[in-house]
Amino acid sequence: MLAPRLPQSKSYLKITGLPYIQPSGLTLTSKDITNYLKNSNLFENITLAAQPRVIKASPKSDMAIIWIDIWDTQSGSKMKILINHSFNYDRSIATIRGTNMNPGVPQCHNCWKWDHAIFACKAHGFKYQKCSGPYKIKNHRDMAWCCKVNFKLNLS
């Protein structure tokens, strides 16, 4: 039997103030951020809802913006604790800010993953966003078991 738990929603945060190129000469990766957050006291009771996304602040900038999605209560209590906190990362001071859902981070409309647009997609074939089936939206009703029965379903 599963234990009852509170309903959860996602909260969206961004971390600023970190260099995109690290002192080692390598670029900052989502794995670096994930490892740091797992070992940080500030993120002790925080669960990531997705891999952090690291992008350059602008094409000519040497700074990074890290987008993180966390599982939160419906009131956003965990997000409220983190917003405007600063922490040391290597030789830099990072600041956590609240944000809307994934602003400025491209999502591919071919494979539905983040950090690239459809013209840069390396996936072989399409994936439908609602069920990840290997077909385009216009063929979904004919091909997918999840929508064959429900003809009233709005697919757009």
Domain spanning 8-98: which superfamily?
RRM (RNA recognition motif) domain (3.30.70.330)
In angstroms, the CA 37 to CA 52 distance is 10
In the DSSP assignment, the letter for residue 4 is P
pLDDT of 24 reads: 84
What is the predicted pLDDT for the residue at 115?
66
Q: What is the structure's pLDDT at 105?
A: 60
CA separation for the pair 101, 30 (Å, rounded): 18
Domain coordinates of the chain in residue numbers? 8-98, 106-156
Cβ-Cβ contacts under 8 Å for 112 (sequence gap 6 or more): 127, 129, 132
pLDDT at 5: 60
Residue spans of the chain under pLDDT 70 = 1-7, 102-106, 109-112, 114-115, 118-119, 124-156
Residues 5-47 have pLDDT tens digits of 666 788 889 999 999 988 888 999 999 999 999 998 989 888 9
Instruction: Supply the pTM of this predicted model.
Output: 0.62
How far apart CA 79 and CA 138 sit, in angstroms, is 38
| DSSP letter (8 states) at residue 96 | E
Q: Residue type for 68, please? A: I
